[in-house]
Amino acid sequence: MYRVGVLHSHPLIAWAVDRALSTVPDLHVSVLDAEGPDRESGPVAAPVFDVLVTDHVPSAGKPLAARIVLMSATPPAAPGIDEYLPDRSSPADLVRAVHGAALTVRPSAGAVPPLPEGGGLSPREEQVLDFIAAGLTHAQAARRLGISQHTVDTHVKRIRAKLGVGNKAEMVRLALARETSPLMVTAGGSH
């Protein structure tokens, strides 16, 4: 389990980062007060977090995190940043950056990396996975794809087997860790 701190000057963005990272089971996320923690009160033997996601370069002094992921509009001009992520990055890019930073801290912490692009799935399995992750039932996905519900059931079984997950919830979690596809954005809309 990796400890991740979120320190952002805009509360809505801090909330969104928390929501995106909280979908990953090996990350324990804490949102910090935007005013900043009182780091001068007492000695700190080790960093509090494995990774800190922030929108500003932390001041020098006692370490708050072993690795820093800067999420801002412009790349950092100051040292001390381990990863840079544009502030308009996708949730999947955020998860990848945080996992990448965390793995350099403790590579044997039992991390479950996000689903790699493609994941060994067929194009039709990718479509089914996107629809299920967007919250559609098997019947709704079947109607959208023009196939039978039984075929969707079969695709879901194959997807679970290929991803090595035990249930649909784990399958959806892995799907959400991927880069958001256009299907997931439009799946709730009317076609």
The reply to whether 99 and 26 lie within a common domain is yes
Domain boundary among 38, 71, 105: 105
Work out the pLDDT band at 134, boundaries 50, 70, 90.
Answer: confident
The reply to whether 51 and 135 lie within a common domain is no
The reply to whether 171 and 85 lie within a common domain is no
Kindly report, residue by residue over 151-184, the tens digit of the pLDDT: 999 999 988 888 777 788 878 877 776 543 333 3
The reply to whether 129 and 101 lie within a common domain is no
DSSP class of residue 179 equals P
Q: Three-class SS of residue 85?
A: strand
75: domain CATH number is 3.40.50.2300
The reply to whether 99 and 137 lie within a common domain is no
The reply to whether 67 and 145 lie within a common domain is no
Q: Radius of gyration (Cα) for the chain, nearest Å?
A: 19
Work out the pLDDT band at 95, boundaries 50, 70, 90.
Answer: confident
Work out the pLDDT band at 42, boundaries 50, 70, 90.
Answer: very low
The reply to whether 11 and 93 lie within a common domain is yes
Query: Burial letters for 14-33: b for 16+ Cβ neighbours within 10 Å, e otherwise?
Result: beebbebbebbeebebebbe
Stretch 73-97: mean pLDDT? 82
The reply to whether 88 and 129 lie within a common domain is no
Total domains in the fold of the chain: 2
The answer to whether residue 114 is domain-embedded is no
Tokens of 29: 């996320």
The answer to whether residue 79 is domain-embedded is yes
The reply to whether 22 and 84 lie within a common domain is yes
162: domain CATH number is 1.10.10.10
Tokens of 40: 């001068």
Domain that holds residue 77: 2-105
The reply to whether 140 and 64 lie within a common domain is no
The reply to whether 138 and 166 lie within a common domain is yes
> Between helices 123-133 and 168-177, what is the axis angle to 10°?
100
Q: Which of 19-28, 101-110, 136-145, 163-172 is most confident?
A: 136-145
Q: What is the pTM of this model?
A: 0.53
The answer to whether residue 66 is domain-embedded is yes
Any residues with CB less than 8 A from the CB of 50 and at least 6 apart, and which? 2, 3, 4, 65, 66, 67, 101, 102, 105, 106
Q: Which residues pair with 85 in a beta bridge?
A: 71
The answer to whether residue 97 is domain-embedded is yes
